[in-house]
Structure 1
Amino acid sequence: MKKNSQLSDVLHVLLHMAQAEGPATSELLAAAMQTNPVVLRRLMAGLRDKGFVRSSKGHGGGWVLSCALEAVTLRSVYEALGEPSLVSLGFRENHPQCLVAQAVNEALGVAVQDAERLLLERLGEVTLADLASDFRRRLKAHRHAPHRLVEHVHEG
């Protein structure tokens, strides 16, 4: 089953935007996500509607953050994306007649609900400012580490 990476992709893009000195084009941000600019613009629409980003057209235009990093939680970004599925466990049958399948579905359903509740709670505790701070810490460590030991870093 293919994993949904929208939240991770958009967070990656938002951190690139936070490091940028000016607007970033859809083409540039799409390249960071390794996707098509149309896909990027579709994902960014929900963030624009929530007031997290804004865009301008024309020469010198592009996407910019329009709020403080401290004001945006990972949960709020997830919600702006339309709340894609967090846990991808499925059921063999959605409305089984079999009593064994009913017991399995009930147990899995409760576990998935609990996992999603905990995950949403944690996503609500982490802000874009937290991610930006962690990135800066990692970048500083990367710049001071012996290069033979350091793996690829995407500085922005």
Structure 2
Amino acid sequence: MKRDSRLSGVLHVLLHMAEQGGPVTSETLAKAMDTNPVVIRRIMAGLRDQGYVRSEKGHGGGWTLACDLSEVTLRDIYTALGCPPLLAMGNRTEAPGCLVEQAVNAALNQAFQDAEALLLSRFGDVTLAALSADFHRRLVARGGFFDLETVHGSSRTE
């Protein structure tokens, strides 16, 4: 099953935007994310509808943050993405006739619910400001240079 990496990608984009002094174009963000600008615009439009980003048209325009990083959590962004499935595992069948499979499903369903609740709780504890602070610690350790135009060019590790 393919993993849904939208949350990771959106957080990545938002943190890059936080480092910019002004608007960032969909083309620049797409280059940094190794994707198509249309994908960036589609994702950003959803975040704009939730009030996390805004767009400016025309020369010098682009996307900017419209929120305080210390007030937005991973859970907020997860919710803005439409609450994609957190776990790739599931039951073999949802309404089995077999009593053994019913017992298995009951145990798995409870475990999945508990895991999702714990993960969502943790998402609610982590702000974008905390992610930004972690980025800045890593940046200082690496030497303190950051340029969105070239940061992804030579290495995919961050």
TM normalised by structure 1 equals 0.89
Q: Secondary structure at the match of 2:39?
A: helix
Aligned to 1:84: 84
Instruction: Give 1:108 shift.
Output: 1.0
Misfit runs of 4+, over 4 Å: 151-155
Taking the aligned partners of 2:42 and 2:83, their CA distance within structure 1 comes to 14
RMSD: 1.8
Q: 1:16 to 1:38 in 2, by over 3 A?
A: same
User: Match for 1:39: what amino acid?
Assistant: V
Instruction: Give 1:152 shift.
Output: 4.3
Q: Which has the higher contact order (CA 8 A, sep 6+)?
A: 2
Taking the aligned partners of 2:19 and 2:44, their CA distance within structure 1 comes to 17
Instruction: Give 1:13 shift.
Output: 0.2
Aligned to 1:125: 125
Aligned to 1:95: 95
Instruction: Give 1:45 shift.
Output: 2.0
Deviation sequence 1:50-91 (CA, Å, 0-9, x none)? 111001111111000011111111100000011101111121
Taking the aligned partners of 2:19 and 2:56, their CA distance within structure 1 comes to 18
8 A contact 1:26–1:37 mirrored in 2: yes
Query: Which consecutive unaligned segments of at least 5 residues does structure 1 have?
Result: 145-150
Q: Secondary structure at the match of 1:124?
A: helix
Is 1:134 aligned to residue 134 of structure 2? yes
Report the count of equivalent residues: 149
Is 1:23 aligned to residue 11 of structure 2? no
Aligned to 1:147: none
Identity of aligned residues (%): 63
Instruction: Give 1:99 shift.
Output: 1.2
TM normalised by structure 2 equals 0.88
8 A contact 1:46–1:82 mirrored in 2: no
Taking the aligned partners of 1:72 and 1:32, their CA distance within structure 2 comes to 23
8 A contact 1:18–1:65 mirrored in 2: yes
Taking the aligned partners of 1:139 and 1:46, their CA distance within structure 2 comes to 29
User: Match for 1:25: what amino acid?
Assistant: T
Taking the aligned partners of 2:89 and 2:131, their CA distance within structure 1 comes to 28
Q: 1:154 to 1:104 in 2, by over 3 A?
A: closer
